[in-house]
A = this chain, B = another copy of it.
Amino acid sequence: DYSKLDKLIIGVCGGDGIGPMITGMAQHALEVLLADKVRAGKVEFRVIDGLTIERRAELGCAIPPDVMEELKKCHVILKGPTTTPRKGDPWPNVESANVAMRKGLDLFANVRPVKVPELGIDWTFYRENTEGGYAVGSQGVQIDDDLFIDFTVATSQGCERIARLAFDYARKTGKNRVSCVTKANIIKTTDGKFLDTCQKVAKEYPEVQFDDWYIDIMTAKLLDDKRRRDFKVVVLPNLYGDIITDEAAEIQGGVGTAGSANIGKRYAMFEAIHGSAPRMVQEGRAKYADPSSVLRAAVMLLEHIGEIELAKKLDRALDICMVEEHKVVVTGRDTGATAQEFTDYVLDTIAKL
């Protein structure tokens, strides 16, 4: 309960590419919304530098130790996209900073809401965030010239805590339906455990409907206008959550429109779900980057720290600014509106709500 804290510390970690710029916008919006508390010394924003691909590559680590130390002094974190090295990139193969932060701060739940009111879509994905193909040390082995193996991990505890969080949310919000997505017919041991656990936990929530789906057919169902309205809360292992939330975000309007909350027992981190768009920076177009995904992440941060009314306002303002008639300011690329202009427009809209 954050209201009991003397001072809430919000870390702001810009990341790479367009990250610092759009994260700065979200920080600005939060500072405006939380101005009273900032003035009263109840909320502090702390910018954490140094989580850049250049520094991570130089140090050969996913998150520099000083950054990790600073992160651990915060209560909640707003994070911009970070570049994950890929083959052919100039940097050595350091681990993804996203994944390292999720594991390092034990942020076991990745919560991603997707809403399309016109289509009756109101989904909340609870993606397990530390296990599966992403688990610590699961870097695979090469047995010989021909044989390569990777590992997928599930723990009882890991399955149980994400399942409970999803069911708690379904009950608390009255959404009262949880759908579990696995490929337990093939990935029998770990997905089997995940599904078993969800089925077991479901018994403790008799008021919440439960059903389960295979990931392949679920990617189809999300497109099926006759069925998809039925989905409410979806709980799934790490990799499937990664896959399906991008599809869902696209249905909502693009991965650039969705925020993501990474929740643990002790820390919580909020981020955009899109990448760092290095090309926009190279081409000098960074200021036109769309900050809406990280602004959605800021909505989730506000909710999380108990600022429900402010969260609702920012969310509504984003809804308004993002609909067709306001497109002029959203899709900056086409019209010349910058991230700053868009953010100001969102804040103006809030002022008029």
Known: A139-B188, A247-B247, A251-B223. A155 touches B151 (CB 8 A): no
From the candidates B133, B219, B220, B224, name the one contacting A186 in the complex (CB within 8 A): B133
For this chain, the copies found in one complex come to 2
How far, in Å, is A163 (CB) from chain B's closest CB?
Answer: 15
Q: Which of A99, A141, A148, A152 has the most CB of B within 10 A?
A: A148
Q: A244-B219, A250-B219 are in contact. Are A145 and B149 (CB under 8 A)?
A: no
A188 in contact with B246 given A87-B195, A152-B150 (CB within 8 Å): no
Residues of the B chain whose Cβ atoms lie less than 8 Å from the Cβ of A335: none
Q: Flag whether A37 is at the interface (Cβ < 8 A).
A: no
A219 to B155, CA, bound (A): 28
Closest to A185 in B: B84
Residue from A99, A224, A242 having most chain B Cβ neighbours under 10 A: A242
A349 within 8 A of B: no
Bits for A150-166, please: 1 = Cβ < 8 Å to B, else 0.
11111111000000000
Check if B185 sits within 8 Å of A86, measured CB to CB: yes
A184 within 8 A of partner (CB):
yes
What residue in chain B is nearest A242 (Cβ atoms)? B216
> Are B96 and A186 in touch, CB under 8 angstroms?
yes
Please tell me the number of chain A residues within 8 Å of chain B, measured between CB atoms. Answer: 61
User: Is there an interface contact between A217 and B188, defined as CB atoms closer than 8 Å?
Assistant: no
Q: Is A340 an interface residue (CB 8 A)?
A: no
Looking at the assembled complex, report how far the CB atom of A41 sits from the nearest CB atom of chain B, in whole angstroms. Answer: 41
- Chain B residues in 8 Å Cβ range of A304: none
Tell me if A's interface is mostly helix, strand, loop or mixed.
mixed
Name the B residues within 8 Å of A86 (CB-CB).
Answer: 184-185
Chain B residue nearest to A217 in the complex (CB): B246
A118 close to B (CB within 8 Å): no
Tell whether A250 pairs with B220 under 8 Å between CB atoms, given A133-B183, A139-B188: yes
> Inside 8 A of A251's CB, which chain B residues have their CB?
223
B residues near A222, Cβ cutoff 8 Å? 247
Cross-interface CB contact of A219 among B147, B183, B247, cutoff 8 Å: B247
0/1 string, A96-113, CB within 8 A of B gives 1:
100100000000000000
A28 to chain B, nearest CB (A): 28
Report if A146 contacts B (CB, 8 A): yes
Q: Which 4 residue pairs spanning A and B have beta carbons closest together?
A: A140-B189, A220-B250, A219-B247, A216-B246
